Structure 1
Amino acid sequence: MPGLRAPSNYSEEPPRHPCLKINAKEPFNAEPPRSALITSYVTPVDFFYKRNHGPIPVVDDIERYCFSINGLIEKPKELFMKDIRNLPKYNVTAVLQCAGNRRTAMSKTRTVKGVGWDVSAIGNAVWGGAKLADVLELVGIPKLTSVTPWGGKHVEFVSIDRCKEENGGPYKASIPLSQATNPEADVLLAYEMNGETLNRDHGYPLRVVVPGVIGARSVKWLESINIDAKVCQGFFMQKDYKMFPPSVNWENIDWSSRRPQMDFPVQCVICSLEDVNVVKHGKVAIKGYAVSGGGRGIERVDVSIDGGKTWLEASRYQKPGIPYNADDESSDKWAWVFFEAEADIPPSAEIVAKAVDSAANVQPENVEVIWNLRGILNTSWHRVQVRVGHSNMDSG
């Protein structure tokens, strides 16, 4: 592809921050410490989780970089970066979350297949770029279109990225045309992240950002867009990232029986405490993030210091010092919400957090009831074990 290429090995990988916990080296998959997530409402690029399926593509000539739009449309077209930058620019604050976030905890119930993630395969960024609805108008598809005159109903994004799951072919995924052409869905072709040019790990020079949907659909390193009658038939839409019941295993799985996962469920995680934490006597700060897919807000976050027997409601905010209200137009509907509570804890305690979204969806109590063989969408109550003690410094 002009200006952009996919390396055949891992010799041209970009530098990464040393604090990241590496869950897989080749391809590179890593997450920050959970405490780093709550230091800033907008996640710094260095601390934003890295999720890859192959070597990171390289831009050799940004002036020559272009991508094509084709398929069931009247006039296929090639677009360059200047064409995208000439469109109105929008900044959208949105969470991206890997469907496998918290997979490691799910695997403790029963073994699952996939990269082991703790709780930090998630980040909140300000994405800058053109709305996909505006881009599709350039090829004659009006806004709020659900089907083209030629039968196109889905928008497939194809990456320059090459991955073994596609037998060396490109990573790809799709969303419904009705979502792609809806300006209110805020689907972007993004060239900026947190006010700066995208870096290579996050899709330079151009990526898709689909707010409110699992990260697997926000395709990086865009090579082409295809308007199709059917959902993308690629591996990651048809044989991965689907939610199966606990009764399904690798012997009886029927991939065609389930739809590709899109929205993610309500989720919250305690970030101020590790899984086994020794804390000083006195009030303990319980802080973390909460988020729900599909643009649903967070109605409530409940915190317990006795394993879920009794509860107290945490405060919620997006901007520091401003209480969060999901109905407030100034709230970022695609972003996460921070929560905070303080409590005196007994000598040994299980601290639990659960969130409720604006549709009254609530996290399930136990991971066992949502266990699935791919280990996706672990949204069970988040639990940390703590005990009151003294650090080595206190003992002097």
Structure 2
Amino acid sequence: MAQDLFPKSPPLCILPFPASASMGVANSKKDIGVAASKDHAVGSPEDNADCSTASESSGDSPTGSFTGDVFASIPNYAEIQRKVEAMKREWGYEEDGIVDGPDSKDRENSDYWVPRNPRMNRLTGIHPFNSEAPLAMLRSHGFLTPMTYHVIRNHGKVPRLTWEDHVIEINGLVDRPMKLSMAELVSKFPLTTLPVTINCAGNRRKEQNLIKKGMGFDWGAGAVSTHIWTGVLMRDLLQHVGIKSAEEGALWVDFFGPEGEVPNGDTVYGASHHRHVMLDPTRPVMLAFLNNGELLHPDHGFPVRLLIPGYIGGRMIKWLTKITVSKEESDTFYNKYDNRVFPPHIVSKDVATKESIWMNPLYRIDDRNLQCVCWNPDHSSKVSTADAADKHFRLEGYAYNGAGRPVHRIEVTLNGGRNWRMATIQRFEKPSEFGRCWCWVFWHLDVPVMDLASTSEICCRAWDDSQNHMQSLPTWNLMGMMNNPWFRIKVQRVPGEEAIWFEHPTRVEPTPSTYWTDAQAMHLVDGTVASPGWAERMHAEYSAAHAPREKDDDKPDASYAWEVEAAFKLRGVSTEKKIREARALETVTVSMLEANAANNWVAIHGLVYDCTAYLPEHPGGAAIIVPLNGKDASEEFEEAGHTMLSRKEVDRLVLKGVLEGFEAKIANLQKLGWLPEDGIPTTEQLAAAQALASGSAPRSAKQAAPVTRSDGRAVTLVDHTQKVKLTLAKRVQLSHNVVRYTFALPSAEHVLGLPIGQHVHLSTMMANPRTGGEKKYVSRAYTPVSNDADVGVVELVIKTYYKEQHPRFPDGGWLSQHLDAMQAGDTLDFKGPTGKIIYEGGGVFSIKGSQRKYKRVGCIAGGSGIAPCYQLMKYVQQQSEPLDVSLLFANVSTDDILLKEELDILSEKGMRVSYTVDKLRDGEEWNGHVGFISEQMVREALPPAADDTIVLVCGPPVMIERCVQPICDKLGHTLVEF
């Protein structure tokens, strides 16, 4: 089950110093290593040698080596620790039991020494590390957040700094400029310890990006956390160095991180703050060096960072290196071009620059704003309404406010705001002597289940002590910051059950099933697909209702008045249409494309794009795109399964022109109404453009020039760019939604000509299976279960995804439903071969063009991902290949296991076949595994890792990324995806 996926090993202590159970200190450099308290695992420098990627000296610990007595330099450390432990006990602090070292996802980057939790949602690919914890995880840990579940915003690699060598320089308009070591900083001034909540200004930004993609990446509603911080007050430090008076020009205090921290500007992340804020006795601004009683985690700024209670996280400098008192703000890149809330008509960075408003203080963000989120019920969770007349459900959430102002009250509505119910607020911290509050609060409200079953939406909002409250609808801004409309959860009915399920506006987890396996904690309509969130599911309507108008579109509108505002917003009413004009595109030669590989130019469907600005935002990381620079990436783009939404969201791609040879095709696209702002054209649009060129429907299947193999068999698939029309000879219904299709090849002597490991694309013109309408070109990739030993036919076993079964895919699977409707004699277009892997025989595999011989292969399949695995296994058995093949096959239930009879036959002939299912029916007998794929299952089902062993996998991306990949990394397996 889920606990097998992430075993509860002792957490690695991320202190950059050793400690005994009594919190003592190492007495020699020999003892330096991975630190551990009584709850933590202890290691030596040698144990972590393979994690060190940027160390200059041997024996470095994760954050550097130490020759001094770190704890001894902290006055009253034992007293601080007792205070922190008392807070942890009072607030029910629970450690992170998952982290046991660096995350395997960081193996290829410079951060592969930083301990990280693999459950964190990485929002900008693998690197840099920008992440939030799943809401359910934040809720389960309560008021205090473990260090490795805390929200993290990094702009580049984590600096490897040391306590003993780090120095903070203080200069500018002060009487006594100086440099302070860490030992001096913590010993010269009184220390303050208190809990503080930090949030990113982009919390809930994904809701904004679904209206119109802005400048920032997608934060969910989990970009907030709370730690206990210990540090030196800034006002004490500034008084110590003798800050000059405001009359003498000492108006700003500028903070700087280390050089090379960020990729933009002068490579220094900086922020400037008003003098009066830094000296404010009511706000405990500090240079923090402890969080939750331990030295700062590397991701949180070790060895010292700026902490400003009440401010957004982006204004607090980590890895603090220099402080300058000045007359004017610093001009560092991120102080100038980040953390702003612009009016909606500022629709691009160029418009903001044109209007010269970047440094206008009216738009700078300092204090955070009022926020309220409901985190129970979970997204995609369900509740039974059977016999629920007297039952209640507890709604729960968090709220916070800025400037130290307390959250005054929380309200919930089940009828669109006509009536509100008062929630109970749970407060943890006591207000300061000045009445300030720096932490989030939790809230709950018990609601009759039948009330929830009778509504379509749950909304919550917060009020503060000035009677300010959250707005009902979103207002878009370019940077997507400070988004705080009512938090809305849709209530849906479960088809065929007495139950309801809940839909948050967005989700950033690939799927809730990564963590929760209990059916009551997660509702997936068909057991495999969860909702992406109602704002994404209703993206077109949501965007139309709230999209911004550009400044030159600022015309009076008599139809828009307060009486019709709600209808106008919700229906996306517009009486004006934006004028769309085609523009001429320059021609880019192939040599120009290749010459600009270093500038991240790629070609997609004849259009040449500069991907530079998009690289850090690509969900899979820049490493996926960079190898395609200077090349045609059309096939890779389509194989990635980009949706219409993602095609339009890649607005960081800068269109450079049309690749030579494609001018006519792109011109036809524009004649059909496509414009560059529509995003990368779809296969349907391309087919329509081709049809326009030929004066007919999209190019039909053509028979390629005949090719005959050495054994005399004619080959069907000769050219992977040409289609071949094949006739359905027979169909056999294997279950209610699985069919074996047998297509006849051009003659009884033909073979398909598909190498083992490759797949084919099936395509046709068809209407939407749910709504009907105009026919469109549809193409999907499938792996046959037959091979070239099966002469005259090709066989596929395909699961049908029916319409109106999936909340995210109400249309169902277009092509699988088309196949399901086919009868013997009907035809379908085939094209191929395509794919990354070819088994060439004799144990030799060609993977992306590189050949290597293996003796043993472990296959891992999920659901319909069994097809390429079975194809390989069948061929190996038929041809008595010198290859030992094992299979671990995961399904939702025993009813979902495809090709089980065939696999059992292979098992009887000596191949090792293992099954696991997510769940069993009551009383069902089963001798296979139950639960998600676990490390133990892999150990038992597959051969051990070795140079002559490879693991091949095919299945849902979340299974591979969150389950199979981490396990195989840990066991040392070479893993390749079909």
Question: Structure 1 length as normaliser, TM-score?
Answer: 0.89
Post-superposition CA distance 1:213-232 (Å, at most 9, x none) = 11111110001001011123
Give the conservation status (yes or no) of the 8 Å contact 1:318–1:338: yes
Post-superposition CA distance 1:94-126 (Å, at most 9, x none) = 111101110001112222121210001111111
1:380 to 461, 471, 485: 485
1:44-63 mapped onto 2 (5 Å cutoff): 44-59=146-161, 61-63=162-164
* Segment of structure 1 superposing worse, 175-184 or 126-135: 175-184
Matched residue type, 2:116: R
Q: CA 1:28/1:327 → structure 2, altered by over 3 Å: closer, same or farther?
A: closer
2:469 to 347, 362, 372: 362
2:173 to 72, 75, 97: 72
Residue 349 of structure 1 and its aligned partner are, at CA, apart by: 2.8
Residue 148 of structure 1 and its aligned partner are, at CA, apart by: 4.6
Post-superposition CA distance 1:9-62 (Å, at most 9, x none) = 942341211211110122110100112222311111121111101100102x42
Matched residue type, 2:288: A
Matched residue type, 2:473: N
C-alpha distance in 2 between matches for 1:331 and 1:315:
20
Q: CA 1:92/1:302 → structure 2, altered by over 3 Å: closer, same or farther?
A: same
Residue 167 of structure 1 and its aligned partner are, at CA, apart by: 2.9
Query: Could you say which residue in structure 2 is the equivalent of 1:315?
Result: 424
C-alpha distance in 2 between matches for 1:211 and 1:199:
19
Give the conservation status (yes or no) of the 8 Å contact 2:453–2:491: no
C-alpha distance in 2 between matches for 1:195 and 1:163:
26
Post-superposition CA distance 1:299-321 (Å, at most 9, x none) = 110012233332101000123xx
Q: CA 1:98/1:328 → structure 2, altered by over 3 Å: closer, same or farther?
A: closer
Equivalent residue of 2:185, what SS?
Answer: helix
* Segment of structure 1 superposing worse, 345-354 or 112-121: 345-354
Equivalent residue of 1:155, what SS?
Answer: strand
Q: CA 1:133/1:213 → structure 2, altered by over 3 Å: closer, same or farther?
A: same
Give the conservation status (yes or no) of the 8 Å contact 2:376–2:395: yes
Query: Could you say which residue in structure 1 is the equivalent of 2:400?
Result: 291
Residue 336 of structure 1 and its aligned partner are, at CA, apart by: 0.8
Post-superposition CA distance 1:336-356 (Å, at most 9, x none) = 111111112125531111000
Query: Could you say which residue in structure 2 is the equivalent of 1:280?
Result: 384
Matched residue type, 2:185: I
Query: Could you say which residue in structure 1 is the equivalent of 2:372?
Result: 268
Give the conservation status (yes or no) of the 8 Å contact 1:264–1:292: yes
Post-superposition CA distance 1:202-248 (Å, at most 9, x none) = 01000000111111111100010010111232222222211111111
Which is helix-richer, 1 or 2?
2
C-alpha distance in 1 between matches for 2:134 and 2:282:
33
C-alpha distance in 2 between matches for 1:56 and 1:347:
50
Post-superposition CA distance 1:152-208 (Å, at most 9, x none) = 111111001635553352100011111112232100100011111111000100000
Is residue 290 of structure 2 the alignment partner of residue 192 of structure 1? yes
C-alpha distance in 1 between matches for 2:478 and 2:116:
31
Equivalent residue of 2:367, what SS?
Answer: coil
Give the conservation status (yes or no) of the 8 Å contact 1:317–1:339: yes
Matched residue type, 2:364: P
1:187-226 mapped onto 2 (5 Å cutoff): 187-226=285-324
Equivalent residue of 1:94, what SS?
Answer: strand
Equivalent residue of 1:279, what SS?
Answer: strand
Q: CA 1:172/1:10 → structure 2, altered by over 3 Å: closer, same or farther?
A: farther
Matched residue type, 1:372: N
Give the conservation status (yes or no) of the 8 Å contact 2:258–2:321: yes
* Segment of structure 1 superposing worse, 310-319 or 289-298: 310-319
C-alpha distance in 1 between matches for 2:455 and 2:153:
36
1:84 to 185, 191, 212: 185
Q: CA 1:350/1:121 → structure 2, altered by over 3 Å: closer, same or farther?
A: same
Is residue 121 of structure 2 the alignment partner of residue 21 of structure 1? yes
Equivalent residue of 1:351, what SS?
Answer: strand
* Segment of structure 1 superposing worse, 160-169 or 267-276: 160-169
Post-superposition CA distance 1:271-292 (Å, at most 9, x none) = 1223443223342211111111
1:101-112 mapped onto 2 (5 Å cutoff): 101-112=203-214
Residue 151 of structure 1 and its aligned partner are, at CA, apart by: 1.2
Give the conservation status (yes or no) of the 8 Å contact 2:342–2:363: no
User: Percentage identity across aligned positions?
Assistant: 29
Residue 330 of structure 1 and its aligned partner are, at CA, apart by: 10
Matched residue type, 2:397: G
* Segment of structure 1 superposing worse, 199-208 or 357-366: 357-366
Which is strand-richer, 1 or 2?
1
C-alpha distance in 2 between matches for 1:46 and 1:272:
22
Query: Could you say which residue in structure 1 is the equivalent of 2:228?
Result: 126
Aligned residues: 380
C-alpha distance in 1 between matches for 2:371 and 2:442:
12
Equivalent residue of 2:334, what SS?
Answer: helix
C-alpha distance in 2 between matches for 1:328 and 1:262:
20
Residue 329 of structure 1 and its aligned partner are, at CA, apart by: 5.4
Q: Could you list the runs of 5+ residues in structure 2 that have no partner in the other structure?
A: 1-56, 58-62, 65-107, 386-390, 494-498, 501-517, 522-920, 923-978
Is residue 359 of structure 2 the alignment partner of residue 252 of structure 1? no
Give the conservation status (yes or no) of the 8 Å contact 1:279–1:386: no
Q: CA 1:393/1:116 → structure 2, altered by over 3 Å: closer, same or farther?
A: closer
C-alpha distance in 1 between matches for 2:466 and 2:227:
24
Query: Could you say which residue in structure 1 is the equivalent of 2:445?
Result: 341
Matched residue type, 1:218: M
Give the conservation status (yes or no) of the 8 Å contact 1:303–1:354: yes
Q: CA 1:128/1:393 → structure 2, altered by over 3 Å: closer, same or farther?
A: closer
Question: Structure 2 length as normaliser, TM-score?
Answer: 0.37
Q: CA 1:216/1:393 → structure 2, altered by over 3 Å: closer, same or farther?
A: closer
Matched residue type, 2:149: F
Matched residue type, 2:228: V
Residue 135 of structure 1 and its aligned partner are, at CA, apart by: 1.2
Q: CA 1:125/1:331 → structure 2, altered by over 3 Å: closer, same or farther?
A: farther
Q: CA 1:329/1:286 → structure 2, altered by over 3 Å: closer, same or farther?
A: farther
* Segment of structure 1 superposing worse, 88-97 or 273-282: 273-282
Give the conservation status (yes or no) of the 8 Å contact 1:93–1:332: no
Residue 358 of structure 1 and its aligned partner are, at CA, apart by: 1.2
Matched residue type, 1:215: G
